[in-house]
Structure 1
Amino acid sequence: METFKIILLTVAVCGSNIAVTSQESTEDPPIPIPKPKITGHPTHKVLYRTETVTLNCVVPGGASEFQYDWYKDSANFKTEHHSSITVTDGGNYECKAKSRTSESEKSDGYTLTLQDLPEARVQSEWTEAFPGENVSLQCVIPVSENWIYKWFKDSENVVSSDERSIKDNTLTLSVKSGHEGDYACQAELKGRTVTTTKSKIHSLKVYDLPEARVQSEWTEAFPGENVSLQCVIPVSENWIYKWFKDSENVVSSDERSIKDNTLTLSVKSGHEGDYACQAELKGRTVTTTKSKIHSLKVYAGGKGTLSSECDGMLPTGRCCTHPWVLRLPRPLSHVSG
């Protein structure tokens, strides 16, 4: 290694006499310091506001006796001169190493980006359901990361069971009445101290399976009359209706018309019987139980009889003042005209 010769001159002044002495010394020349490099732990360069990152200023060769200067966005950042610093802010970080006699150039910049915590959101088309249906809720995070999802119902933690399945970001319910409530979700970033706030609530209403009911004023009819029966469901939905007569399925024909929830009969004697209906929710696995039966009596056509309280009571030629009654094979309340 080359050395430099240093000559020290000492001057002594005594009256008018001047004495000059010299001394030679040798020292090592300044050693150049290699350009340092910044490493980060954890290594991700996108930070959420709850996270910290440790930055290390590494000098090739592993020397440790240096002092370190840190810069953020080109300005001095830390008064301490350690090789490692902990940061929570985004920015462009640089460092350099210094010894007593020399210093390195600045490292390349190490850029950290600071982000706000993403918001979780429950996404589902389901706001109401019936027992037996399968309902899916998704927890949506706008930033695609390695999230672990948590679910809550009425602020209580939801865990998987026979009735509830959690897979990835999806909660699936095999609906029962107890599943009605307010659902929310939350996500935690795997391996990092990042947890979103809870989402806004998503309410699910669970209805009891509705009962179908046959509604009609008709309980008896004559051939040729038009009789209408309606299948009534208390919950207004997109129902598909089925009709039964004496437990057999009823289909439309020239004598029977089914439109929406109404069965219309062009009455014939064979239409006498017990009618019931049932409804199925279009596009969903919801079917009501059969309604209670509604009986229809069909009378055969025949002649009526005219009678009066005077029959057989007055002599020939005398007038009767009591009303005459026309008796038909069915109640007069159903006779029109």
Structure 2
Amino acid sequence: MELEYLERGHAGTWKSQPGPSCSKPKAELRHDNTAVPVGGSVALTCSVNTSSSSSGWKYYWYRYENDYTTSLDAGFLSNGEISVSEKGLYWCRGGRGEPVYYTEYSDSVMISETVSNRPVVTLYPNWSEIYRGETITVRCEIHGGDTEWDYEWETNSIIKAPNQNEYRIRSALSSNSGNYHCKGRIKSSQYEITRWSDTITLNVSYKPKAELRADRTAVPVGGSVTLNCSLTPSSSSSGWKYYWYRDGKSYKPVTNGLISVSEGGLYSCRGGRGEPVYYTEDSESVRIDKIVSNRPVVTLYPNWSEIYRGETITVRCEIHGGDTEWDYEWETNSTIKPPNQNEYRIRSASSSNSGNYRCKGRMKSSQHKTTEWSDSVTLTVSDSKSDPVLTVSPSWLSPGASVTLNCEVEHPSAGWSFYWYKAVPDLSEKSSSYELLPDGSGTAQDSYIIHGQTHTAGYVCRAGRGDPEYHTDHSQPKFVWSADVHSAASLTVSPDRVQHFTSDSVSLTCEGNFTEWRVRKFSEDGRLYSDCRRMTGSTCNINTSKSDTGVYWCESGSGEFSSAVNITVQNDGNGPILVSPVHPVTEGASVSLSCSLRTQKILSNVFFYHNDKLIQNDTRGELKISAVSKSDEGFYKCQYSGRESAQSWMSVKVTVSGADSSSSPVWLMVGLVCGVSLIIILLLLLYRCRQSKYSCFTRSIQSESHSPGSSTNHGVNQNETHVYDSPHPA
């Protein structure tokens, strides 16, 4: 015979215990709810799970409450389902056959009865957002009557709440975040419970940081600055107070986070709320300065409108008024920042120093008292050096004329001094070296006048300013040309004429006692060329094109310049050229000018013009001048069949007998008059000496000290630009 019995389990549950045989099936109890709602019921289902599909089972139900077990009259329900509306501990078993064979008892299920009391979950303090480290209480409140309750919590947070009416979180963590709801069970009747409360959500965020903003960072004279303390991230939670600190000491707490201050100092703030007070992170500190009346001024020394790369410039901050000692602060948009000193000396300026500069001062004795910012001063540094431009006047020498050099810089009023040089050919470097002209170092004037220049020569200039002195690059060389042939170096042209057709073969030959030569050209477009495309020995061969028009001269390896010649290439293949001599014609000599076509060398019915004035219009094909005079000098051109040649300059060289000898009698006459005058003066002095020897001696000295020779002016005119005599080429 099998034994069956029930054993009281833990927490008021009942479990079936098998007899000696373990082969009995066990009933299984299922339920759709564990609490009977007000005015409702709960469905229970009992079933026997066996490996066979046998039938004939009936189900026997049992209920336990208040230490009494009751057998329910529900055994006739073969489907094992019942509906109950009373609270209690329920279990079941199956049975079949005659006599009845019973299964094991099912596990018991507690069915509670829902009461009308309504639980509510509250947070205290009731802030919408809680921060890490704050203290918060989650409370389950059940109203109605004086009933004592046991509490049950349900939450999806990582940390579970204890089964008490309140859950006090003393230092909140993100793991406390979650949804919370609760219910109550009457202590005197464990089968009567409330329904679950509505859910309330608790969010725990990281500790916020206070953010301090100021509407300005300096207190104006007689004014104030508004400071605003807020939380980051911004919070809509209430209850915050804001605690202010000045220079690390507590200042004052305010509710709205706004204060107005009129004293300088290092300000910070933080927020706080709750009891005990929970504090946010401190804000970053903000320096508030108090403006004093002293006014700073930025100056540039030297005060030039533009600075060039490599120059030295000083940017200075000057604060006037009183004997206060200052620390200085600069603000600039330049790439290189100045040091916090009263002056910033830039020893070699670059474009990185360009920008706007302004400064202010801070009292050494009170670091929160400052001046206002000065007005900005703009420093512009040009990345390229200033290139001066040299002009020479005149370009072609004429007897007795002086040569004026002008050196032009971009900003002529900015304290420039000027340096003047003669260009000396250097064939080894395919360039020129520069020799300083007499008294040509650091002149204040931007012009330099040379007297007595007779031969072709080249000149350059440059400028300097500042201390230490900054120098510009040298100017491009400019030349003054002489057409006069001299013995040291000369240039001959073959064929000997100024104008040529395109594709003509023209030879330029350098002559003189030198082994090295180069031919230079100054073209129509102002370019200087140093190399001949086809140089054979001392001869440059040109197959002419329009680009070969220009001024040509020779330079020797010893630094000599030849005379210069004009070469003009006729671009109109059907037009005529004027055949005229390359070199100057000596006064008194005869000369013949003609007009020629590429296909016809000798022409008739040619019109000739001198300085644009028609001087010959007949059947002759050439213009002959039997004895050239200075009045014949000028521009000539010819016209044939309605087509004009280019015009060329014919220079007339005055002979020694015509010019130099003509001046000699004048000087002889002046010398003779001076000599006679001196003799007369001496005779008068000898006559007076007979009366007073002492008087004679004195007057003789006075006469000598006022003689014409002692008062001669050697080329310097104090009322005009400085004039210098140039050294003659060796």
State the TM-score, normalizing by the size of structure 2: 0.24
State the TM-score, normalizing by the size of structure 1: 0.47
- Rg larger in 1 or in 2? 2
RCO comparison, higher one (Cα < 8 Å, 6+): 1
Normalized per residue, the structure richer in helix is: 2
